[in-house]
Amino acid sequence: MEIVIVSQEEVHRLLPMARCIDVMETALRTLARGDAVQPLRSAMWLPDDSGLLGLMPAYLGGDVAAMGVKAISVMMADHGDGDSHQGTVTLFDREDGRPLAIVDARAITAIRTAATSAVATRLLAREEANDLAILGSGVQARSHLEAMLAVRLLGRIRVWSRTPAHAQAYGEWAAAEHGVTVEVTPSAEDAVTGASIICTVTAAPKPILKGAWLSPGAHINAVGSSVRFTRELDTGAVAGSRLFVDRRESTLNEAGDFLFPQEEGVIDENHIQAEIGDVLLGHTPGRETDEEITLFKSLGLGVEDVAAAHFVYRQAIRQGLGATVEL
């Protein structure tokens, strides 16, 4: 039995951001139509809580017809020189169950997460939103800059990061990679004041974004916290926003950004306006006024990984890339 192995470098080559945004839109529509299987992910924590191994299986029907599972390690403090998220997406034939491919998950995770935020931003941010703030300067901060550049004409970009040298390096990378000027700010508040699009992409366990700092009409992509015991947004930021999510069930089980304000009794489940897929299908309106603040809470879904990996696999076959090995 033959299987194709696709490397990190090949994923970057085969999955340009603009294509991945379309792939994520299709995946989220497929999920919202009920033509996908998306269980909650399972996480096996190490005994000392220093990291976890996550398993994210998913199936997509429709034109995609893909089945697979992402197995991903997330080490909290020390991930050496590697990305914070490392692993593989294994794809299977949905008819006969054969394993088809093993695709590097670092690049898939970096690109698909930002592409999903781009889908949400395209739907929910004001058309003229052009003032971007990024909180964080790691892998997701980089892919999110590319994703935001793909969906809005940005006139101003600010970044804040806990370690000032990392924010500085980020600014230099952005100039070299994308030819844009990024202002490095001394505080998160300085980065977000007046911003119309905000991406929170940190591993912070406690809020780094406060509702009091937000301007009317802003759109937020809250990406960094994907477990129930951490959050990046304070209660005011969540309560003061119209909340859209990637998946309702995941939000109620995994999103500290939602669960902390809920436990405080400030919001309840009705605060979730809709899943992004429902907005894509036109079942629920997205932004309704120029003044409201919209919030997309991203947790990351197996359908996103499987759809992205399946696209990469088909491109690899078409272009003769990837290493074919006998199992």
Q: What residues make contact with ligand NDP under the rule CB under 6 A?
A: 74, 83-85, 109, 113, 136-141, 161-163, 166, 201-205, 208, 223-224, 226, 298-300
Nearer to ligand NDP, 149 or 222 (CB): 222
Which residue has the CB atom at the shortest distance from ligand NDP?
138
Nearer to ligand NDP, 125 or 208 (CB): 208
- Least distance from ligand NDP to the Cβ atom of residue 21, Å: 15
- Least distance from ligand NDP to the Cβ atom of residue 112, Å: 8
State both tokens at 232. Answer: 């990046």
- Least distance from ligand NDP to the Cβ atom of residue 128, Å: 26
- Least distance from ligand NDP to the Cβ atom of residue 265, Å: 26
95 DSSP assignment: T
- Long-range CB pairs of 35-42, under 8 A, 24+ apart, other chains included: 35/60, 35/61, 35/62, 36/60, 36/61, 36/303, 38/247, 38/301, 38/302, 38/303, 39/302, 40/249, 40/250, 40/253, 40/254, 41/250, 41/254, 41/302
Nearer to ligand NDP, 94 or 248 (CB): 248
Nearer to ligand NDP, 149 or 204 (CB): 204
Measured distance CA(233)–CA(200) in Å, rounded: 8
- Least distance from ligand NDP to the Cβ atom of residue 277, Å: 15
- Determine whether 219 is exposed, middle or buried from the number of CB atoms within 10 Å of its CB (0-12, 13-18, 19+): buried
Nearer to ligand NDP, 38 or 100 (CB): 38
State both tokens at 311. Answer: 């696209």
